[in-house]
Amino acid sequence: MELVVKELGVARGGVRVLEGLSFVLGAGQALILRGPNGSGKTTLLRVLAGLQPSVAGRISVSRDSVAYASHADGIKGQLSVAENLHFWARLHAERDITRALEAFDLRALQDRLAGALSAGQKRRLGLARLMVTGRPLWLLDEPTVSLDSEAVALFGAAIEAHLQRGGMAVIATHIDLGLTSARVLDVTPFRARRPVGDAFDEAFL
Amino acid sequence: MELVVKELGVARGGVRVLEGLSFVLGAGQALILRGPNGSGKTTLLRVLAGLQPSVAGRISVSRDSVAYASHADGIKGQLSVAENLHFWARLHAERDITRALEAFDLRALQDRLAGALSAGQKRRLGLARLMVTGRPLWLLDEPTVSLDSEAVALFGAAIEAHLQRGGMAVIATHIDLGLTSARVLDVTPFRARRPVGDAFDEAFL
Amino acid sequence: MIALLMRDLRLAVRAGGGFGLGLAFFLIVVALVPFSVGPETALLARIAPGVLWLGALLACLLSLDRILALDWEDGSLDLLATAPIPLEGIVSVKALAHWITTALPLVIAAPVLGVLLSLPAQGYLWLIVSLLVGTPALSVIGTFGAALTVGIKRGGLLLSLLVLPLYVPVLIFGAEVARRGAEGQAVQVHLLLLGAITCGAMALLPFASAAVLRVNLR
Amino acid sequence: MIALLMRDLRLAVRAGGGFGLGLAFFLIVVALVPFSVGPETALLARIAPGVLWLGALLACLLSLDRILALDWEDGSLDLLATAPIPLEGIVSVKALAHWITTALPLVIAAPVLGVLLSLPAQGYLWLIVSLLVGTPALSVIGTFGAALTVGIKRGGLLLSLLVLPLYVPVLIFGAEVARRGAEGQAVQVHLLLLGAITCGAMALLPFASAAVLRVNLR
Amino acid sequence: MASIWEYANPRKFLETSDRVLPWLAALAGVALVVGLVWGFFFTPDDYRQGSTVKIIYLHVPSALIAINGWLMMLVASLIWLIRRHHVSALAARAAAPIGATMTVIALLTGAIWGQPMWGTWWAWDPRLTSFLILFLFYLGYIALWAAVEDDDTAADLTSILCLVGSVFAVLSRYAVNFWNQGLHQGASLSMDKADNVANVFYLPLLVCMAAFVLLFLALVLLRTQTEIRARRMRALLARERMS
Amino acid sequence: MPELGKYAGAVLSSYGLSLLLLALLTGLSLWRARRMKAALRKVEERVKRHG
Ligand code: HEM
Ligand SMILES: Nc1ncnc2c1ncn2[C@@H]1O[C@H](COP(=O)(O)OP(=O)(O)OP(=O)(O)O)[C@@H](O)[C@H]1O
Ligand SMILES: Nc1ncnc2c1ncn2[C@@H]1O[C@H](COP(=O)(O)OP(=O)(O)OP(=O)(O)O)[C@@H](O)[C@H]1O
Ligand SMILES: [Mg+2]
Ligand SMILES: [Mg+2]
């Protein structure tokens, strides 16, 4: 299991934002995406998750092996924490949600309606969802938003455990996660240049 | 102009979360709220903003002097950045939005539709809104979420300038903002205790 | 206040047509009536004033949840509530914006659709007058309903349930004026009553809406 | 798939009644008709089958935006699209859930409302049959419309606009079956055609819905 | 004398109602049995309406409760809005389904009665129509209670809805009167016109009305108790979760 | 049984339906009351035990 990205170009709203991006991620490795606001990290992750087509290059990974966690968490406020997790677990043909509940310290909250959680608690639930997908490649967009330092540590431990089991992770973030083993990729150098000349067709993209 | 909070108690979803909170904030001062997830920072800010009644204690500030910035930004995706700011400015009887645009480096984006901004750019716009309200007391809930380090610096500068002009700020955050002059208040010790005994009426709250 | 009105109007235009869509719904509902009750002209002419009123009412109804829910979702409503305008003013402006963007186009379009349903010639004047007098009440009552259901996700259907019984008196008098107009009977009394309901609703309901909104915001 | 169906049903029950509200809207629309066209029994009996069909259709229509938009807003749809179920299956399950929570109660309630409109006695059987056969098509077509408009904030009105023309054939045949049934004429041909439309829609539209959804997600 | 507001204390209310409830329920049961049995078995047929006149013993009392149930909710809502006693808000909530059921009973019996008397199940008569509208108000009120999660918020919202709804219900009543002249006249029943005609009908009817009132009161007390307990349980659970 | 004549259907069905509805309402209220009482007692005991 490997993620190979070759000369990838991605676009958003009809404008290229990144191009010529290549990297290889082996089993048990993590990659941290960095770059200033608006540099295209979210766009890149959505392309990797198969939610959006790339405009150039190749990605070696099948859609069935990725679990994507975006800014929005996909949590139903009217269902309890456990019900939310159960649903995603059954959808991915997994049974067990206790490991996920434990990993993010949600045991005490499991019967609470998800709508009555604080911002950080909601985020923890969103991250716990990743653990019940059974997917090897995690794509995380700013996962630690609104988490306190304790929860950030839990998150770090969950990632490490996932990598240990041969999983992979691509994480876009602005702050330091304390993942010592992870490689860092700054996307700034891959920012798409303006096309030279006035290539009419290209302006269509 | 002073914010005096005395023996404040706040509740969320019918449950007391904080009680016995007192502090005084003078002109030109900032207060940073800290506390683990779910400790009640958001609730406290909403009470201070007058959006929600307190269950005990006093707050000395009038609703007309606060500007509140929550997790949601109140940005209309169909309006451009400048139009969004203009609207809030006119609502608060201010005219000038250039200072706000400049402070958060939004000049280049001003004609872009707000719906086509990245997460961090949106947040910058949400913060810029504070500057056109002309209100002295800023209440900020995790303002630096999804901001890159450059934007965090801009934010720090904006806060400093606001304090310099005699403004005040209460900021809930989990990460270090680098505001050297600000006091820090940890809300953990004020977590509401269980009422002793079985006061039937109290369980109704 | 004017800033708010301008913003709401602009948003309605930008959002892919607050104007157009209510109108289109009206058109389609009216156009579906012959399909469902059959194409006889005499029958259609007889029910035309009523169908036009009902269609206008439903078109209004469907756009009600846009009045406040969008502002609620993106947090604008919190910010508006802390702005230096009384909440009563805000809900009134919102109702006004709804009327301009939704009800006014309906009033203008109604005569055209009357032709589709073979409305008798003398009916057009009173149809328009009754709609002009009655629709502001629809907007104001609808704003109250929208304020009641603002915290509820996709409360659209609940909103309809709460608002429709409140619409009954307006509908009765409005349709009655239009029908009597079409049949050439006297309309004054009913028109007067319709006007009274509208005035009463405009005078009192904004206070109820603001109170409800305050409860929902906390 | 079953997990998804169960979740949708549970959400419908929890969310303050996906069941009840469509029904309530149906009741209200039917109850408002006499207010707008007048209370004469003969007239009402004549338009009853059409009005019932139109009311059921509108009630379906109003709840369409719940099918996908809620999942879109909180990001679930992105996650479902990356789940190990084909998107075609997901939209079919969603349509089924919509039918169970919205259309089925309407079918059951229609006879009761028929009483309000003085529907002739022989009309009830065919009314129910036509609704049973026709409403699945409404749900499937509606899901397609919901998939088309999913990215648009408060696309409810736009959704109606897109879906209503697609509903026309179903409405024509459905109302025709109900009307002929009420008047004691032969219904076979029309019922057959209605069934054909429903089967066709159920067989083909999920692919279109899934394709559209894929486009909207990117 | 102790202030009446003391009973607005939930605990006090529970204690008092626990004591009253058995008596009230027994009384209601007895009255109901006596009234209905009297009415059904021991009254003569009306000369014009035949045996259908027996329906009156269900129809009129349920209509009475349907209207006055809403009135009670209105009063309870006002008390909640002004004095913020939780029990009164919960009592209003408890009364709504009872009122709705009574409305359904009145509608059903009326419809069944209408078939032999007017030759139709339903007519858009003002009284019938305004009853239908009342039913819609009940439905909306119940749906709003169910849809809002926070108890106090729900109480506030439904109270205001009840106020506004009452105004509009009265408005509709008059609107409907303007709109259509009706079939439904009390005078269609012989007893109604000439007051002395029919103590035979009148007395059992009175008993039935009293029985329905008692039944209503008993049910309201019982359901209010339930609501209080539910409310307390939600509060306790929430508090437990917090720690 | 009194003689109901040709209206027997109407009278009996209205009595039947009304009594059924009343029974349903009363039954549901009682059932919920009992269940809620038990549930509350359980919760109260648990709260007391855990202090
Ligand atoms: C669905 C149909 C009907 C509804 C909703 C309905 C509703 C009502 C209402 C609201 C009342 C007033 C109760 C009160 O003032 O305390 C009433 C009373 C009454 N109804 Fe009906 N009714 C219906 C059909 C009928 C029919 C068909 C008859 C008999 C022909 C009938 C006979 C009466 C009588 C005799 C009274 C008592 C009149 C009085 O004391 O003023 N109703 N009904
Ligand atoms: N709908 C859109 N239409 C046009 N341009 C868009 C749209 N959405 C985003 N963009 C632009 O595309 C670029 C990439 O956005 P993206 O969200 O990928 O950035 P990001 O790296 O995730 O930023 P952040 O750190 O702020 O989240 C940004 O410059 C943004 O302004
Ligand atoms: N609607 C609700 N009903 C009941 N409890 C709620 C509700 N919303 C939040 N809570 C609870 O109230 C407490 C305070 O929440 P609040 O959002 O104020 O926390 P916070 O300090 O802002 O947390 P975070 O850092 O995660 O944003 C939390 O324990 C939360 O679970
Ligand atoms: Mg991003
Ligand atoms: Mg918070």
Other Cβ atoms less than 10 A from the Cβ of E116: the count is 17
CA B2 to the chain's CA centroid: 16
Which numbered atom of ligand 3 lies nearest the CA of A123?
A: 26
Lowest mean pLDDT among A37-51, B117-131, D27-41, E111-125: E111-125
Q: Are F17 and E62 in contact (CB < 8 Å)?
A: no
E55 touches chain F (CB under 8 A): yes
Q: Which residue has the CA at smallest separation from atom 17 of ligand 1?
A: E60
Is residue A145 over pLDDT 70? yes
Name the domain count of chain F: 1
The pLDDT value given to residue E192? 47
pLDDT beneath 50: ranges in chain E? 1, 187-197
* Residue in the structure block whose two tokens are 């009470």: B47
- Nearest alpha carbon to residue D31 among D87, D112, D125: D112
Q: What is the pLDDT of residues D172-184, one digit of tens each?
A: 899 888 888 888 8
**Nearest C-alpha of chain C: how many angstroms from E140?**
5
Site from E41, E54, E98, E102 to mutate, F interface, most F CB atoms within 10 angstroms: E54
Tokens linked to C108: 């203008």
* Alpha carbon distance E136, E153 (integer Å): 22
- Tell me the residues surrounding ligand 5 (ion) with CB < 5 Å: A 119; B 42
Strand-pair category, A137-141 with A168-172: parallel
Name the domain count of chain C: 1
* Alpha carbon distance C193, E166 (integer Å): 18
Are B31 and B185 in contact by the 8 Å Cβ rule? The answer is yes
Stretch C111-123: mean pLDDT: 85
Q: What is the pLDDT of residues C95-108, one digit of tens each?
A: 999 999 888 988 98
- Nearest alpha carbon to residue A169 among A177, A160, A178: A160
C with D: how many residue pairs have Cβ under 8 Å apart?
134
Mean pLDDT of all residues belonging to chain C: 86
- Give the long-range contacts of residues C6-13, CB within 8 A, separation 24 or more: C7/B76, C7/B79, C7/B87, C8/C93, C8/C94, C8/C97, C8/C101, C9/C97, C9/C100, C9/C101, C10/B79, C10/B83, C11/B76, C11/B78, C11/B79, C11/C70, C12/C66, C12/C97, C12/C101
A118 touches chain E (CB under 8 A): no
- Nearest alpha carbon to residue F33 among E17, E210, E77: E17
The pLDDT value given to residue D155? 65
Question: For residue B133, what are the domain limits?
Answer: 2-202
E147 touches chain D (CB under 8 A): yes
Name the domain count of chain A: 1
Q: Which of E52, E56, E127 to mutate to test the pocket of ligand 1 (most atoms within 8 A of CB)?
A: E127
Q: What is the CATH number of the domain that holds B100?
A: 3.40.50.300
F touches C, CB cut-off 8 Å, minimum 3 pairs:
no
**Nearest C-alpha of chain D: how many angstroms from C42?**
11
| Cα A33 to middle of ligand 2, angstroms | 15
Is residue D20 over pLDDT 80? no
Question: For residue F15, what are the domain limits?
Answer: 5-50
- Nearest alpha carbon to residue D19 among D104, D129, D111, D143: D104
The pLDDT value given to residue B200? 58
Are B74 and C74 in contact by the 8 Å Cβ rule? The answer is yes
- Which residues are registered as beta bridge partners of B141? B172
Tokens linked to C61: 């109804």
Query: Which of the four pLDDT bands, split at 50, 70 and 90, describes residue C202?
Result: very high
By CB atoms closer than 10 A (0-12, 13-18, 19+), residue D186 is exposed
The pLDDT value given to residue E91? 93
* Residue in the structure block whose two tokens are 């998804």: D4
Other Cβ atoms less than 10 A from the Cβ of C136: the count is 21
Contacts of D50 in chain C (CB under 8 A): 33, 35-38
The more confidently predicted of residues D14 and D127 is: D127
Tokens linked to A201: 């067709």
**Nearest C-alpha of chain A: how many angstroms from E93?**
22
Q: At what angle do helices D41-63 and D18-37 cross, to 10 degrees?
A: 150
- Which residues are registered as beta bridge partners of B113? B80
- Maximum average pLDDT range among A147-151, A199-203, E20-24: E20-24
Rounded to 5 degrees, what are φ and ψ at A70?
-95, -170
Stretch C122-140: mean pLDDT: 91
For chain E, give every domain's residue range. 17-242
Q: What is the pLDDT of residues A171-185, one digit of tens each?
A: 998 888 777 788 888
The pLDDT value given to residue E190? 43
- Which residues are registered as beta bridge partners of B138? B67, B169
The pLDDT value given to residue E182? 61
The predicted complex's ipTM stands at 0.82
Q: Which residue has the CA at smallest separation from atom 3 of ligand 1?
A: E110
Residue of C nearest to B75 (CA): C74
Q: Cβ < 6 Å from ligand 1: which residues?
A: E 56, 59-60, 63-64, 106-107, 110-111, 113-114, 117-118, 127-128, 131, 184, 186, 188-189, 192
The pLDDT value given to residue E187? 43
pLDDT beneath 70: ranges in chain B? 194-205
Contacts of B67 in chain C (CB under 8 A): 82
Ligand 2 site, residue A78, Cβ cutoff 6 A: no
* Alpha carbon distance E186, E192 (integer Å): 6
Tell me what percent of the residues of chain A surpass a pLDDT of 90. Answer: 7
* Alpha carbon distance B118, E186 (integer Å): 70
The pLDDT value given to residue D112? 86
Torsion angle (degrees, nearest 10) of CA C26, C28, C33, C35: 180
Q: What is the pLDDT of residues E198-224, one digit of tens each?
A: 666 778 888 899 999 999 999 999 999
F45 touches chain E (CB under 8 A): no
Domain E17-242 class? mainly alpha
The pLDDT value given to residue E2? 55
The pLDDT value given to residue A19? 87
- Which residues are registered as beta bridge partners of E50? E46
* Alpha carbon distance C101, C92 (integer Å): 14
Q: Which residue has the CA at smallest separation from atom 18 of ligand 3?
A: B40
Ligand 2 site, residue A54, Cβ cutoff 6 A: no
Q: What is the pLDDT of residues D133-183, one digit of tens each?
A: 999 999 999 999 988 888 776 666 778 888 888 888 898 899 888 888 888
Q: Are E51 and F4 in contact (CB < 8 Å)?
A: yes
